[in-house]
Amino acid sequence: MKRLSILVAALTLPTTWLGMGMAPIAAQTTPVPAPAAFTLAPLPYAADALEPVIDAETMRIHHGKHHQAYVDNLNKAVAADPSLAGVPLEQLVTRAGALSAAVRNNAGGHWNHTFFWETMAPAGSGGAISPELSAAIDAQFGGMDKFKAAFKAAGTARFGSGWVWLIVGANGKLAITSTPNQDNPLMDVAEVKGTPVLGNDVWEHAYYLKWQNRRGDYLDGWWQVVDWGKVSARYAAAMR
């Protein structure tokens, strides 16, 4: 009798209870991977390592707040457009003109700042310029001093916010160029296109705490922390 009553109880279970038993099996489909989000890499040196050219407070705000915001806003902009899921940063940059302003500005901001941190090293610790890059600068600009003067002129002439670059153009020659906002010479929208080997941020957030309105002095001082070994390696790669 007891066995029969258990059977009856099972048969009278509400169908929804039986359905619940099936639910975990139905859920065992291949999980959709979360879209790969862009992340902010740590600085390749301590925040105060480039003092006195770039003070520690500027470095912390610039990397931890400004660059972080480009990364966060890029992730939001990409998440809003399913066609951009998984597209590498370099492709977002080179296709920037066909994408939203949010993607263009924040992909540019992320690419430019990553490039910028890697361009620098504590004074005296960066590598030496290669004979090949030195010769190319001599040939194109008439020597290092003239190159630096031309780079400074382009950086100070950039109205508002932007960047100044040394690039290798499609003709294999060096050129100095400047871009507004967070654009860069890799973008399809750049006036002068090429492969950047060196770039300096001339947004006020990059220098104002230390240099205030003296952008030209910041551009002069900045050479102390440029890692010419890194720049030379980029030049060699661009010429391959």
Asked if 117 is part of the footprint of Mn ion (rule: CB under 5 A), the reply reads no
DSSP state of 225: G
Report the first-to-last Cα separation within the chain, whole angstroms.
88
> Which strands, in side-by-side order, build the sheet including 174-180?
174-180, 162-168, 195-201
| Dist. CA 167–CA 114, nearest whole Å | 16
Q: Which helix (H) or strand (E) is 45 found in, with range?
A: none
Token representation of residue 240: 């391959």
Residue showing tokens 């639910």: 23
Answer for the pair 177, 158: CB distance below 8 angstroms, yes or no. no
Asked if 70 is part of the footprint of Mn ion (rule: CB under 5 A), the reply reads no
**Pick from 154, 129, 155: nearest CA to 226:** 129
The nearest distance, CB 37 to Mn ion, in angstroms, is: 21
Asked if 163 is part of the footprint of Mn ion (rule: CB under 5 A), the reply reads no
By C-beta, is 112 or 232 nearer to Mn ion?
Answer: 112
Q: In the set 70, 165, 203, 235, which binds Mn ion (CB under 5 A)? A: 203
| Dist. CA 152–CA 222, nearest whole Å | 10
Q: Which stretch binds Mn ion (CB under 5 A): 6-14, 69-77, 121-129, 199-207?
A: 199-207
The nearest distance, CB 183 to Mn ion, in angstroms, is: 13
Q: Which residue is nearest to Mn ion (CB)?
A: 201
The nearest distance, CB 83 to Mn ion, in angstroms, is: 28
3-state secondary structure of 161: coil
The nearest distance, CB 148 to Mn ion, in angstroms, is: 21
The nearest distance, CB 157 to Mn ion, in angstroms, is: 18
By C-beta, is 169 or 221 nearer to Mn ion?
Answer: 221
Q: Which stretch binds Mn ion (CB under 5 A): 75-83, 186-194, 197-205, 218-226?
A: 197-205
Answer for the pair 186, 195: CB distance below 8 angstroms, yes or no. yes
Contacting Mn ion within 43-62 (CB under 5 A): none
By C-beta, is 206 or 225 nearer to Mn ion?
Answer: 206
By C-beta, is 183 or 201 nearer to Mn ion?
Answer: 201
Q: In the set 107, 167, 194, 201, which binds Mn ion (CB under 5 A)? A: 201
The nearest distance, CB 175 to Mn ion, in angstroms, is: 22
Answer for the pair 152, 219: CB distance below 8 angstroms, yes or no. yes
Q: In the complex, which residues of this chain contact Mn ion (CB under 5 A)?
A: 201, 203, 206
